[in-house]
Chain A
Amino acid sequence: MSGTCSSRHRPLRSLFRSRRILDRARSFPRWAPRQGQVHHDPVPGARVRRCGLFRQRDVEKIVSLSPDLVIAGGAGFTSADAIAKLRDVKIPVLVVSTPSIEGIYKDIELVGTAVGAADQATAITTKMRADMQAIATAAQAESAKAATKPRVFYDVGYIDTSGQIYGPAEGSFLAEMLGLLGVDVITGDKVTYEIPIEKLIERDPQVIILGVNAFYHPTPEIIAKRPGWKALTAVKTGDIRSVNDTEITRPGPRLAIGMYNLAHAMYPDLQLPPVS
């Protein structure tokens, strides 16, 4: 994260370089409607302009839209070249990158400061913190009732041709969220977020939470047929729960909604405090 921006009074045109960042922009009502978005997350009321493909940015197109500020996703989502080029033409670029939940809060506040809506940002993060805490407390109380923490695996993705399995990366906010629910989280590699099948069998999840989205939506039957997966307790008992991954895997202001969905999937009978 770098760069400071003075607030401006006229509407800002800001371009978002990944869908995750867009979530934050949504919450600032002062936004001018021009936004560039790359992926499939229709946000009501936003006018979308394509500025590139996943991981590739059409720098020229961005420049032609004359943004006042570009907010870019870090952690390799945006190439350093593209950022450098934009800065070369004097377009300020704010790079945000979030390894942890606390980091997400800080990012939102940073974006808020950058666009001159710091107060709104703080209001958002305060509410988020409260919501998250409430859900975590309720979930942990529920989890404490059981003798041992259930072993849970969140299925992020799977490649049939190579048998590669993707789960929550160790130290990621997703792993953190699951941890806050009071479960024994099975994580994938810190960098590649892969987990080898033999390791998964060793860890033996009792519950599999399937993060479903437009691209990845296998059925529990399909999961049961994956080579080696039938040794997992969760597959044997059929405890495979689907949840929409939209708010869960995006580090933005809707994270609390994601946490709610996750908690609901994990403890369906539990009464959870509402989140807007």
Chain B
Amino acid sequence: MTSLVTPLGSPLATPILSAEGVTVEFGGRRIVDDVSFNVAPGERLALVGPNGAGKSTLLRTLTGVLEPRSGLVRLRGVPIRTVDDRTVARAIAVVPELTQLPFAMPVHEVVALGRLPHDPPLSGLREEDREAVASAMDRVGVADLSDRDARGLSMGERQLVFVAIALAQTAPILVLDEPTAHLDIRHQVEVMQLLADLNEADGRAVVAVLHDLALAANFFPRVVVMNGGRIVADGPPEQTLDAGHIRSVFGVDPSLVRLPVMTA
């Protein structure tokens, strides 16, 4: 699969997604407070923090769903609010929440929903659409579930299928909000490995909100730590998830949380 974005490290690579002084308020409270950071094309980062730190809100602002009170979010340098929804959807693929479908649908049709931003004609999916769906299911490893009713899948299978949906969107940025929330350890690792693969092999940018610090440390070269609406640390996990941060941000004894050292 051809790389979707300019190679990392190129001096002319503008951040594919960036936030500049973004502040988001709800009912008078500042959920996100003056946050600035960039996502380079093909970068993989995890966003962690305690409950209520503003992670999901920041994510929704980055994907253009929420309007910040102040500050700017840019998609490829262009303010995201000036970009129409469909174009945004073709650039940013957000893995959907694990909702239940109201009707029975085979998995391949569910994954095909990811093609909606590409305006498949009313007569049906085009060749390119079917290709995208097939290869998305392949990459994720759910091809053999293709004809099964999506409603009958296990949690792990469903999460993978939902990642496939986002993949079928063939967007250069993949965003996930707590994708491992309901999974057992095996499936958690599977999803993490998949994300790493998508990032390294395809050059996709991956931004994932995680609650599991071990997963973040193990699978992400960049971990951004948020607390109280602000970014308190941003960098490789050895630095950002060190004992000091764990104590101050998460309020637990760091010795209780034994994080593995990330393998090179």
Q: Do A and B touch each other in the complex, judged by CB within 8 A?
A: no
A interface residues, Cβ below 8 angstroms from B: none
